[in-house]
Amino acid sequence: MQKYAHILDLVRERNPLVHQITNYVTVNDCANMTICFGASPVMSHAPEDVVDMIKIASVLVLNIGTLDEKQIEGMLAAANGAKKCGIPIVLDPVGAGATPYRTQTAERFMNEFPISVVKGNAGEIGTLAGVSATVRGVDSGNISGDPKEIARSFAKEYGCTVVMSGAEDIVSDGKRVVGIVNGVPMMGKISGTGCMASAICGACIAVSAPMDGCITAMTALGIAGEEAAKTAKGPGSFKPAFFDAVASLTNEQFMKSARISEYQ
């Protein structure tokens, strides 16, 4: 548990630059959450700008929540730059499975670039893994089969770390499978918690191995959600309390509250 808590310190000490091309619904929340966690965000998406910005970044986070051709052009330019520079890439395939456009875009990135982390809900991960899955818009869906084995198989096939969010977050690198049950239902009552989680996965893998970084990120946000829910009266008051809880999270609090299970 201590090795995960230590990653919190590393992010705050090193202040990695997290280059994010994300959706316009949650871009401000992702930027502020990155700051609260101890990293630095840059939200550059213009193809003319990303080729230079990626050279000074520590990690690239791609979120396909509000796709258009110009954004895809910027994502491709940034991903090519990250590939050349050896910078890890996090892909959040928002809505994959809901429309062919989203699914094909996510698959393109998976097939053309060395993605370090794929972070999505069960329906999105199931779609990309080729199993029967249901997705409604950008909301979480269902998959047929064991989520742990689907995550493990998908991670092994692509040589990446898979984060499948849900009541129990599943993280696998194709060998290990870890479950995390921190968090509260209120986190699903505000838009952007999944997008923010992808940003924080990026911040953590910038200073650690992808598997450990993602476990840290998902656990930390879950604990912060639990803390925020203690005082929140509803979604409106939960959101600022959530940001405050992330900013004030300590190693001691992390180790005391983390609920992480390692599966065979």
Q: What is the pLDDT of residues 42-95, one digit of tens each?
A: 999 999 999 999 999 999 999 999 999 999 999 999 999 999 999 999 999 999
The string over 85-110, giving b where at least 16 C-beta atoms fall within 10 Å of a residue's C-beta and e elsewhere, is eebbbbbbbbbbbbeeebbebbeebb
Name the β-bridge partners of 42: 19
For range 113-125, the mean pLDDT: 96
Give the whole-angstrom CA distance, residue 157 versus residue 207: 24
For the chain, percent of residues with pLDDT exceeding 90: 92
Contacts with 70 (C-beta within 8 Å, 6 or more apart), sequence order: 47
Confidence label for 143 from pLDDT (cuts 50, 70 and 90)? confident
Which class would CATH give 2-263? alpha beta
Output the pTM of the full model.
Answer: 0.95
Q: Where are the domains of the chain?
A: 2-263
Q: Give the chain's length.
A: 264
Q: Would the pLDDT of 132 be above 70?
A: no
Residue 185 contacts residue 160 (beta carbons within 8 Å): no
Residue 30 and residue 192 in contact, taking contact as beta carbons nearer than 8 Å: yes
172-206 in b/e burial notation, b at 16+ Cβ within 10 A? bbbebbbbbebbbebbbebbbbbbbbbbbbbbbbb
Across the chain, which distance is largest between two alpha carbons, in Å?
Answer: 48
* φ, ψ for residue 11, nearest 5 deg: -60, -45
